[in-house]
């Protein structure tokens, strides 16, 4: 676990141009509700899978939506219970936010042994809090491209924020929201364009496993192979 103690995005930034990550990218949707069923519909239409970082408060209100999302092959991960600024909470409050949502996730997935991925609300965190949650078995996941769909921008602008981003590269993690008014509509533009560029959409857990395999293989490669003989 120790070698993965940094944010996934940091790890991706360091190695995301390596050929090992050829054209792998992840779509992520935060928060919960509102347009979640519509986003699910669009993903189905395009035959793609994505990762949802959900707040427990939303999950509790209508758990059947999230059961449907999970049964359709998408990933359900932790985004706290009430979406607080974690920097303003005490340690027990932070852990309570995470564990309440994790219980709901386990209820939906029926699996208590799965890896626990967590995204900080607003991305707000510090070293201490990051270490605290890692010590409780959570793997923090940020993003590398913010679609800014939460600002209410139209589908074309969401598309441009992703497709024209300097961070659009192998291993990128794209941030979108279930509350985005034009997010579902934008998927009709984004998914075909990413596919056309040769990207394969993957779940966060798949990208994580790719890193594990990559790091494992890296250890087998001599530091300077050209001088080894
Ligand atoms: Zn959020």
**Could you tell me the pLDDT band of residue 214, with boundaries at 50, 70 and 90?**
confident
Higher pLDDT, 220 or 86: 86
Domain 2-216, classified CATH 3.20.20.370, yes or no: yes
How far, in Å, is the centroid of ligand 1 from the Cα of 122? 6
How far, in Å, is the centroid of ligand 1 from the Cα of 31? 5
Q: What pLDDT does 136 receive?
A: 97
pLDDT at 2 over 60: no
Name the burial class of residue 112, with classes exposed (0-12), middle (13-18) and buried (19+) by CB atoms within 10 angstroms of its CB. exposed
Give per-residue pLDDT as tens, 103-146. Answer: 999 999 999 888 999 999 999 999 999 999 999 999 999 999 99
Give per-residue pLDDT as tens, 153-196. Answer: 999 999 999 999 999 998 899 999 999 999 999 999 999 999 99
3-state secondary structure 116-184: EEECCHHHCCCHHHHHHHHHCCEEECCCCEECCHHHCCCHHHHHHHHHCCCCCCCCCEEEEECCCCCHH
Residues around the ion ligand 1 (C-beta < 5 A): 30-31, 121
> Which residues on neighbouring strands pair with residue 130, listed in sequence order?
none
DSSP helix/strand/coil, 78:
strand
How far, in Å, is the centroid of ligand 1 from the Cα of 209? 24
pLDDT at 39 over 80: yes
Domains in the chain: boundaries? 2-216
Report, as residue numbers or ranges, the catalytic residues: 30, 177
How far, in Å, is the centroid of ligand 1 from the Cα of 17? 28
User: What mean pLDDT comes out for the span 79-94?
Assistant: 98
Q: What pLDDT does 35 receive?
A: 94
């Amino acid at each position: 676990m120790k070698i993965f103690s940094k944010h996934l995005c940091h790890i991706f930034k360091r190695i995301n141009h390596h050929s090992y990550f050829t054209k792998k990218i992840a779509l992520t949707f935060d928060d919960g509700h509102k347009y979640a069923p519509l986003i699910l519909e669009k993903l189905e239409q395009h035959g793609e899978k994505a990762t949802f970082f959900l707040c427990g408060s939303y999950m509790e209100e209508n758990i059947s939506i999230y059961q449907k999302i999970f049964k359709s092959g998408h990933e359900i991960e932790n985004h706290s219970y009430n979406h607080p600024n974690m920097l303003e909470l005490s340690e027990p409050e932070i852990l309570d936010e995470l564990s309440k949502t994790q219980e709901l996730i386990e209820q939906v997935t029926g699996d208590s042994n799965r890896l626990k991925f967590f995204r900080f609300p607003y991305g707000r965190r510090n070293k201490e809090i990051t270490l605290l949650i890692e010590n409780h078995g959570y793997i923090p996941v940020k993003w590398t491209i913010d679609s800014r769909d939460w600002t209410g921008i139209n589908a074309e602008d969401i598309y441009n924020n992703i497709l024209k981003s300097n961070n659009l590269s192998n291993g990128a993690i794209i941030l979108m929201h279930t509350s985005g008014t034009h997010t579902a509509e934008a998927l009709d533009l984004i998914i075909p364009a990413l596919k056309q560029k040769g990207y394969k959409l993957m779940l966060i857990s798949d990208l994580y496993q790719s890193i594990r395999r990559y790091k494992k293989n890296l250890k087998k490669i001599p530091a300077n192979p050209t001088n080894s003989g």
